Structure 1
């Protein structure tokens, strides 16, 4: 029998081009985005991603390579994403204990993708990835799930998945979009910055602080997150009281849609009807907005690549005098590029329902 020889290919999170030897050896070693060296198949055809955000980024690159999903797409999203996505088996989240090892292994993934998030230190990420790899006996590759490194993540995945051209197209769009919005919001004077409360749950009394993976969009566009709270393990939202929100008295409230993926929504209608909220500035002046959520939430849960259109939406919403973009045109471009779906005007309006200034 011929010995299977693994070769070392330095593939860094900085996006350097790997140099693959011209032979037929079946495995290569790569350095993933956490700095771990992982032996993976040279040819990758089946991928299982831990967490929805990983599944989404793989879907935008090569949906045919997904061997399983963590959860079903949210109701109401079917028409925006390829029918092929709906046929992928739902395996659950093995890291979140909604799937068992046997279920995942039955799908026979070549690699498993895990994400490094903004509010988890690298050492913890590495420990978790090593533990999962040992448990499943499949290579676990860590990607960077942080918003500002989305372009680098596309480049990394494009290299190991043999989707370089597609990855460059999407990564370049992300880098350009983040730079354009960053340049605009950096010009906003400090006294013009808007104070924002991110209301989660049906009564709006859970939230996340600045620096969380769940508020990267708000942090990026220089919205002032009024929530001075501590989240729980795995960035679980913090519970707050209505009295505390009244003290914070935000200028704007943003909240998830009731039918969006994992949004825990319905707060939008609750806030407008519940008299106890009427004296909060944002409610009093009609500055409560629902975060667009189809096919995937633009802000959070999951904190996916959809956040790239999310920063355009939120920056324009909070600072229309400084971020002068045609958000409807931007939405059409994003959906065509990332989801291969050409929105009509009515569909754009549906997606942006309750998300725009009157």
Structure 2
């Protein structure tokens, strides 16, 4: 399945064309109207999506809806002016994002246990709907059903599962071409590669018995987690940590329930969490007092705004979360990594927001707000 999709991706990127050209690129694989006159007289082009489906889409797009957080966040990072709405409500008190984007409506989508509303999206009349997919199986049938429900609005299938977790970047490149923002996509690809290469070159030779042991605490009590191999705990794997969670991998939304006795038995050196409520209580909770990470005050709350850096939502913004995770796990190995500068650059380039010094301090020290 992956090999087939990889071939499709290469072909897909070749056939994205601009309607005003009046002709297609001279390639071996072309998907264009039968006559150049049709193309010249219309405002549409033909493309191939990441599942190999042939679609007719507007030659110029000004409004885009994506039905899952990874794709929505990618559109925001690459072409924010074309994003029409969010899949989820951001409840954080300090959202480092221009109000033009915070005011976009919450339109839902199809991800986790969430079910979107077709009528809401159809009423917005977007140029295209980007449908993210992450699993094999009957993907085509599901997306065909989505297309039938959206009627004349083209549904473009995009592989959410490879936005972040691999070194290759076909999704970012594909969406960059699709939305005519290739330069911005290339910036993101370069930033991502730079961070991943630095992390990999630093941690790849750490012996297994010298890797720091890590527990990912989820939920307000910290007693839900995800083991190694889960998309939700992938930053630990990428940064050379040893995920202590010896528990089943819960498909989809993850968050496997565990007990405090299990955590005490695993006795992690480091705990990372995305839950401010858990962080605010962990050092004063007697249940956790015997855990090595708590005793040595190595419990770290991930930065939260405008999206959590390490998980939920998943998306290409997690690249900054890997830099943060690497610094938390191995501070002595990443002394040369300038996290404040990386954060300023990332927010300016991809979140379209210039952080003040106070905002940067607040962002990188979320535990101060959590402990209030």
Alignment of 1:229-248 (within 5 A): 229-248=247-266
Match of 2:159? 144
Match of 1:285? 296
The change in CA–CA distance for 1:91 and 1:16 in structure 2 (over 3 A counts) is closer
Match of 1:5? none
SS at match of 1:12: helix
Among 134, 137, 141, the alignment partner of 2:148 is: 134
Q: Distance in 1 between matches of 2:132 and 2:187?
A: 21
Match of 2:346? 334
Q: Distance in 1 between matches of 2:11 and 2:341?
A: 31
| Larger radius of gyration between Structure 1 and Structure 2 | 2
Q: Give the deviation of 1:255 after TM superposition.
A: 0.8
Among 54, 58, 73, the alignment partner of 1:56 is: 73
Match of 1:345? 357
SS at match of 2:84: strand
Match of 1:86? 102
Among 188, 192, 214, the alignment partner of 2:232 is: 214
Match of 1:108? 125
Q: Distance in 2 between matches of 1:41 and 1:77?
A: 36
Among 315, 321, 332, the alignment partner of 1:304 is: 315
Q: Give the deviation of 1:58 after TM superposition.
A: 0.6
The change in CA–CA distance for 1:182 and 1:30 in structure 2 (over 3 A counts) is farther
Range 178-187 or range 311-320, more displaced: 178-187
Range 22-31 or range 54-63, more displaced: 22-31
SS at match of 1:197: strand
Q: Does 1:323 align with 2:334?
A: yes
Match of 1:66? 83
Q: Decide whether the 8 Å contact of 1:188 with 1:322 is kept in 2.
A: no
Q: Does 1:204 align with 2:222?
A: yes
**Pairwise CA RMSD of aligned residues?**
2.4
Q: Give the deviation of 1:168 after TM superposition.
A: 1.5
Deviations, residues 51-108 of structure 1 (Å, cap 9, x unaligned): 2222111111122211222123332243x11211122222122455443211111111
Match of 2:9? 12
The change in CA–CA distance for 1:233 and 1:130 in structure 2 (over 3 A counts) is farther
In the alignment, structure 2 segments of 5+ residues that lack a partner are 1-6, 23-39
Q: Distance in 1 between matches of 2:262 and 2:268?
A: 11
Q: Distance in 1 between matches of 2:316 and 2:119?
A: 29
Q: Give the deviation of 1:33 after TM superposition.
A: 3.0
Deviations, residues 10-41 of structure 1 (Å, cap 9, x unaligned): 97268844463722344333333344444433
Q: Distance in 1 between matches of 2:13 and 2:108?
A: 33
